[in-house]
Amino acid sequence: MLGGAKHMSISDSDARARMVVLFSERSEEIAQILKEAGVDPARDFRHRNFASADFGRCDVARWDFSGSILRNAKLAGVKNIHLAVFNAETDLVGAELPEGVSADLLKRG
């Protein structure tokens, strides 16, 4: 438990592989795909486990990663990371971030 919320993760390896493809190869379409699936990144990405996820070139503006595990995640190519939400509980250890962006800076908002 982190911050009183359980972390949700994808345990099935096939589902995890599909998610990697979704974020990395279809990043331009991700907002529409998530919307059609009923997923709201401004609400549904809090306290989730995205360890080692590759977010490709996704536009992460207004995505809320509060309390999420982004350990070793690939975020270097994302757009608008400065408009995403992170907090002190967000685990960014080993995450690949855009040039000039630090985990400490993101966690401060």
* Interval 46-82: pLDDT, tens: 999 999 988 888 899 999 999 999 999 999 999 999 9
Question: What's the pLDDT score for residue 59?
Answer: 92
Q: What is the pLDDT of the chain when averaged over all its residues?
A: 82
Beta bridge partners of 79: 59
Mean pLDDT of 15-23: 58
Question: What's the pLDDT score for residue 81?
Answer: 97
CA 66/CA 3 separation, integer angstroms? 9
Q: Is the pLDDT of residue 2 over 80?
A: no
CA 67/CA 91 separation, integer angstroms? 7
DSSP letter at 3 equals T
Phi/psi zone of residue 72: left (φ > 0), alpha (ψ -120 to 50 degrees), beta? left
CA 9/CA 53 separation, integer angstroms? 11
DSSP letter at 26 equals S
Domains of the chain, residue spans: 13-108
Question: What's the pLDDT score for residue 91?
Answer: 98
